[in-house]
Amino acid sequence: MSEMNINDAVMTTRLDAVVNWGRKNSLWPLPFGTACCAIEFMSMMASRYDMSRFGAEAMRFSPRQSDMMLILGTITNKMAPVLRTIYAQMAEPKWVVSVGVCASSGGMYRTYATLQGVDRVIPVDVYVPGCPPRPESMIYGVMKLQEKIEKESLSMRKDHIARFYESLARQEAIQAEKGLTGQQTIRDMLMDAAERGAGTIF
């Protein structure tokens, strides 16, 4: 039996690096499809563009079984509490890609009915511009997310998600105390945040 050189068998690394390497190559997407971006998403997942090349082919329609939320379309103010609930239900650690201008900023719908960017109510990691973006753009967005995951720190991600949970608890408290609907609570929280000069409610 030949003597084994320890340097051939052992590699030293940082925990963050090795965990994030695993995370970024096994993203499980949750399609939150509300408009035409969801149609582009279908072709992104299908054979021609093929997301499985990037390790994100295990699409799940349950938030419990997925960790990358793709917001594909216009989110109305009425949908905002639903979006927050679904984000809260996702498996940790979780990431959000806002696909298309509607999800990112309200897009052309600058009205009372449309949420002017989902980043006001849930944390967004990557924005993909376009109306709708081509599948290549969406794939580029996911690749950007992979780069981001590679570099991020585990504890920062945890704190980041914890901040969202705090805001959800605050929302539920206000809702119960004032007897409002979820939509009106979020609207009030947004108004309050704007007065404080903050961009978001979380």
Partner 1 sequence: MIIEHIDAQLPGAITDRHAFRGDQTIVVPKASFLDLVDLLHREGFQLLVDITAVDWPERPESQDVGRFDVVYHWLNLASQERLRVKVAVADGEAMPTLTGRFKTADWFEREVFDLFGIRFEGHPNMKRLLTWDDFPGHALRKDFPLDGGDPFCMEGCTAPYNNGERA
User: Crossing angle of helices 37-45/135-151, nearest 10°?
Assistant: 80
Which residue, 45 or 71, has its beta carbon nearer to partner 1? 71
Report the alpha-carbon distance of residue 155 to residue 114 in Å, rounded: 34
Q: Which stretch binds partner 1 (CB under 8 A): 5-13, 17-25, 59-67, 192-200?
A: 192-200
Handedness of CA 91, 62, 147, 126 (dihedral sign): negative
Q: List the interface residues with partner 1, window 87-116 (CB under 8 A).
A: 110-113, 116
Q: List the interface residues with partner 1, window 128-157 (CB under 8 A).
A: 152-153, 156-157
Give the CA count within 13 Å in the CB-facing half-sphere of 45. Answer: 16
Q: How far is CA 10 from CA 5, 13, 163, in A?
A: 9, 10, 37
Tokens 């959000």 belong to: 96
Q: How far is the CB of 156 from partner 1 (least distance, A)?
A: 4
- Choice from 3, 8, 177, 195 touching partner 1 (CB under 8 A): 195
Applying CB under 8 A, the residues found at the interface with partner 1 are: 77-78, 110-113, 116, 119-120, 123-125, 152-153, 156-157, 159-160, 180-184, 190-191, 194-195, 198-200
